[in-house]
Amino acid sequence: MSLFKLPFIAGATLGLHAATTAPNPPPKAAEKRIEPTRLEFMLTSPLFRNTQKAVYWAAAWAEIGIIGGGLDSSSNSPWSERVVSALAFGGAPHSVRITPSLVLGSGFVVSGALLRLYCYSTLGKYFTFETGITRNHRLVTTGPYGLCRHPSYTGAVLAYFGILFYFGSPGSWFVECVFKGSMLGKVLGISYALMMSLIVAGLLSRIEKEDEGLKREFGQDWVEYAAKKTKARGRPKNAGSCDSGTPTFIALENANLEPRMHFPQATFKIDVLIVGGGIGGLACAYALGRSGHLVRVLEKTAGRQRGAGVRVPPNLTKILVEWGLGNELKKCQTCRKTTFISLESGDVLGVLEWKEDVLHEAGGQFLLIRYDDLYQTLHRLALSVGAVVTLDTTVTSVESTPTPSVHLANGTTLTADLIVCADGARSVTRDVVTETKNNATDSGHTWYTVIVPIERMVRDPELAKWAQVPQWPIWMGDNRCAFGFPIGDEYSFSLYWPDTDVPLDAPEGWNVYCPTSILNLSPYDDRVRRLFNMMPTAQRVKYVVRDRVEDWVDHSGRILLVGEAAHPLLPHSTQSASMAVEDAEVLGVLMSHLQSLEQLPQLTEGFQELRRKRCEFINDGELSNASLTTMAAGEMRDMRDAGLRQSLKTGIENWDDGALRDQWEQIEEGFAYHAREASEDWWRKWGSLGDAAKSGEGFVIKIATSSSKIDTGIQ
């Protein structure tokens, strides 16, 4: 035994202590984390951390005691003999010595510890043992991260391997006294080796998730960085700030969800809570996550499924294409024509055809898709940028002071920098923003929808022609109408019907169902009756008219209404999904310019300025179209029918440039609108005013609003 062994004992012990001690506290609960693997819990468990530290510190002091007692043995001191005997555990203390393998093990530990400390210093506050994304997180590719993909994990594995090599070497106290001294020592030695091996396995198991998370968070920057590095297991791996954390959900394997455009990220990143996980909420989650913000969605259901068809006009199609969904949209049914039919007689009254040149000028196709397919696609998009989507979570209220907060039914309170309220027409959050009661008026009408398998439709010769034809027929009647369109291998068919014909009232909501036999359709076109009754049950959606919302942003500028929480639409409107996704695109573009927390009110007010007139225009158009298709018998209806019959005479094949121009002028404001371009134009015009916010002056744009009402035109 020799004092020359003491530096190696100190190196191994202090090195492992440095390598296994976190330099920073864990990320805050509100910050996104990756779900731990089954083995990874050992990395963050206080029990395992403290156990391993207790073992190597106990071993170090025991070995020092053995060395000290051995050196004092020449004096025949009873104290020295008792110390050595107690620490020998029945083994051979005289065999504790310096060996080459022990020196090598100590060197491994010190080397690994120094590499870990270099990583701590390089990442600074971003290095945490629990993976997460902190505010204003950035990708680090300098220092050790410029040399290899996972330097801190390399250092940790080196340190753990070194301590096992050190403890397991001949001449170590662990081998000569504990392991060789008794059966219990052998069990303890094997147990400790197993624990170290599991910790190393836990480290390696998290690498895959971290790579995926960093790719989601930093996008093209990560791709370019990883491309410069060596590939592992046939795919590039990440080296930049890999220990600092990743978002919660795994990355998408679907190449169709890779964004086609490059979207800029905000220089100042914030925490965002989105109340509501429908089309609008998920679209906002993607747009804000894409802009670099930390997003969590709270959805009260187990996952919104409506089982109905959705029309995707060009103004929505162009957004989805820019979001990287072009290949997905190619699978959707196109819509080229609307046929107007008398609900009473079944006669064709007229047609509205979409000329290809006009749609091309609008910038996108008119498509037909399942609601559930659009929902799932947006859900995957939201996860692809690291958004956390929490289902079965009911929000009871929100408040803006002292910090924007969301209160849940289970008693939990969550805080964020920005709260986006996307909880639909029956919003529980709207009253906080508007500071007025959310008034609702019964329209006297209800929607009934069935989804019919195409294979069932084609058995009826008269219905077969509608089964897979790229058009959207509308049956127009007195105070009622019906329409349908194909969605893949199914057909979405909806009736808008007065409640006076139905014996039972229905609550408002999308999850209400009734037997199809509830409606007496015998007085009308028999094809409508046969198609509707092909299914035993229909979705029943009560139409409730709500007051127009004047203020979409609360007084703090940090609670915002979007989607139907801000601008309720007639259910099953052509533009219902479009308006929600447009809101998301506008919000995402504006928030990509965020440079400080004080700038938030300017951007949220700008969002309302951009969207309010647009949504009012669309809402008025939808109500006008509904009124047109539900006219009561009389002079106005006769004039409508005469105009429609004229379209049967001319036909789209006979259109001249004047006819094309007329159709373009009719749809330009609706279909040709480009949400991203409108947002960027606003920023170029007004964004410089945000310099006042950066200088601390707290500049906020105030929007003048006026109150108005609209007659729905539907009785």
C-alpha span between 502 and 513 (Å, rounded):
14
Residue 29's closest CA among 138, 124, 132?
A: 132
Pairing of strands 337-342, 348-353: antiparallel
Residue pair 461/326 in contact (Cβ under 8 Å)? The answer is no
Residue 421, strand partner residues: 275, 561
Helix (H) or strand (E) holding 496: strand 490-498
CATH number at 25 reads: 1.20.120
The domain of 198 spans: 3-244
Name the band, by pLDDT with cuts 50, 70 and 90, for residue 154.
confident
Residues 81-90: tens digit of each pLDDT: 777 777 777 7
Within-domain flag for 180? yes
pLDDT tens, 322-340? Answer: 999 988 888 888 888 889 9
Q: Compute the average pLDDT of residues 415-426.
A: 93
User: Which H or E run includes 469?
Assistant: none
Residue 38 pLDDT: 57
Residue 71 lies in a domain: yes
Instruction: State how far the Cα of 607 lies from the Cα of 559, in Å rounded to an integer.
Output: 12
Give the rounded distance of the alpha carbon of 101 from its chain centre.
51
Task: With respect to residue 228, please indicate whether it lies within any of the assigned structural domains.
Answer: yes
Residue 86, domain member (yes or no): yes
Q: Could you tell me the pTM of the whole model?
A: 0.64
Beta-bridge mates of residue 407? 397, 413
Q: Which of 137-151, 526-540, 549-563, 659-673 has the lowest mean pLDDT?
A: 659-673
Q: What is the DSSP string of 98-161?
A: --HHHHHHHHHHHHHHHHHHHHHHHHGGG--SS-B--TT-----SGGGGT-S-HHHHHHHHHHH
Would you say 566 and 579 are in contact if contact means Cβ atoms under 8 Å apart?
Answer: no
Chain Cα centroid distance, residue 514: 33
| DSSP label of 336 | -
Structural domain contains residue 181: yes
Q: Is the pLDDT score of 644 beyond 60?
A: yes
pLDDT band at 699 (very low <50, low <70, confident <90, very high): very low
Could you give the CA distance from residue 50 to residue 41 in angstroms, rounded to a whole number? Answer: 14
pLDDT in tens, 187-243: 887 887 787 777 777 777 777 767 766 665 565 566 666 655 543 322 223 333 333
Please check whether residue 308 lies inside any domain of the structure. Answer: no
The DSSP letter of residue 204 is H
DSSP 501: G
Question: With helix as H, strand as E and coil as C, how does 318-376 read?
Answer: HHHHHHHHHHHHCCCEECCEEEEEECCCCCEEEEEECCHHHHHHHCCCCEEEEHHHHHH
In this predicted structure, the answer to whether residue 476 has a pLDDT above a threshold of 70 is: yes
Domain count, the chain: 1
- The order of strands in the sheet holding 395-399 is 395-399, 405-408, 413-415
Higher pLDDT, 484 or 690: 484
Token digits of residue 13: 């012990």
Could you tell me if residue 210 is inside a domain? yes
3-state secondary structure of 502: coil
Report yes or no on 432 lying in a domain: no
Q: pLDDT band at 505, cuts 50/70/90? A: confident
Kindly report the average pLDDT of the chain as a whole number: 80
| Amino acid 388: pLDDT | 92
The pLDDT tens digits for 251-309 are: 223 333 344 466 888 999 999 999 999 999 999 999 999 999 999 999 998 876 667 89
Cβ neighbours, 10 Å, residue 300? 18
Q: Quick check: 663 pLDDT over 50? A: no
Across residues 437-448, what is the average pLDDT? 88
Q: Per the omega criterion (within 30 degrees of 0), is the bond before 46 cis?
A: no
